[in-house]
Amino acid sequence: MDRGRNPEWQRLGRVIKRARKSAQMTQQQLAKAMQVVPSTVSAWERGTRGLQEEGARELDRIFGTSGVVQRAWNTANAPTFVPEWYEEVEQLERMVSELREYHSSVTPGLVQVETYMRALLKESAPWVSKRELEEMIRSRLKRQEILEKGDPPLLMMVLEAAVIKRIVGSKKILSEQLESILRLIDEGVVSVQIMPPDATCHPGGSGPFRIYTFPDKPLVASAEHMWGEKLSDEMLHVQQCMTIFGKLQAEALTPQSSRDLIRKVKEELDDDEACPPVAQE
């Protein structure tokens, strides 16, 4: 599946292309020397396909370069504090025309305010350092840039009632998060449906998932787990997710009723903040 160009792979690809041309080799000649098909060489140079370290060393040998490709490969594969799946999801989101998402426990990352994501990451990943935390927050905020485009993707979310009631950080932070969701709803950026608070077992019991729709590529589905998201473009998996999402939408409150519920919860939080309980003597 073509998931777009990886910026690090693109930089490596430019180094490979320059070295190939300096060696006066065509892509076909290099492909034969590397024992791969020409399209693989083209993908390396465009940055749409990764390269193994031994491949980088072999390219240096073929080109007669003194570790030029190896050093570029090391830079492209330098450790990062941001999980690889963060970057992969960001690439998909930049190309998406429609995004459907179901979550059962927390506000989806694409619409989280900074205070909410900071409190959430501190609780859900207590082992990360302060530096790692800040880089993860920057990455997540960068993903939200697609919401500010002139033609943002169509976002549809179905959330459990627990999502809008679970305190993350503090009641003030949750209120701020709900206010942001209400604003995005009113601006037409996202459509949100809440499952009834008294809903019985339903298809969402299998866990959070997303469905990415593109204008010129097959659909992709992803399932969330402790270590990130597992992506799949297998037709069966995508069809199953589409079926479940449709059933969830049918069982959820209408968008207007969902908005009213979110507003009600926010007002209750604000009232609690304004009138803290009186300590008994």
pLDDT tens per residue across span 236-280? 989 999 999 999 999 999 999 999 999 999 999 999 877 766 555
| Res 87: pLDDT | 64
Burial of 45 (0-12, 13-18, 19+ CB in 10 A): buried
Range in 29-43, 77-91, 205-219 the model is least confident about: 77-91
pLDDT at residue 215 above 60? yes
Q: State mean pLDDT over 128-150.
A: 87
Task: Report the top-level CATH class of 84-274.
Answer: alpha beta
pTM of the predicted structure, to 2 decimals? 0.68
CA distances from 251 to 188, 194, 198, 214, 247 (A): 22, 9, 12, 26, 6
Q: How far is Cα 211 from Cα 241, in angstroms, rounded to an integer? A: 7
| Res 45: pLDDT | 92
Q: Kindly state the tokens that stand for 224.
A: 């969330």
Q: How far is Cα 166 from Cα 180, in angstroms, rounded to an integer? A: 16
User: For 60-119, what is each residue's pLDDT tens digit?
Assistant: 999 998 788 988 888 777 655 555 556 667 778 888 999 999 999 999 999 999 999 999
Q: How far is Cα 82 from Cα 173, in angstroms, rounded to an integer? A: 24
- The percent of residues in the chain predicted with pLDDT above 70, rounded, is 91
Which residue type sits at 203? P
208: closest CA among 185, 226, 189?
226
- The percent of residues in the chain predicted with pLDDT above 90, rounded, is 56
Q: State mean pLDDT over 121-135.
A: 85
Average of per-residue pLDDT values in the chain:
88
Q: How far is Cα 178 from Cα 259, in angstroms, rounded to an integer? A: 10
**What is 7-76's CATH number?**
1.10.260.40
Q: How far is Cα 230 from Cα 206, in angstroms, rounded to an integer? A: 14
Q: How far is Cα 224 from Cα 231, in angstroms, rounded to an integer? A: 9
- With contact defined as beta carbons under 8 Å apart, do 22 and 66 qualify? no
Give the start-to-end residue ranges of the domains of the chain.
Answer: 7-76, 84-274
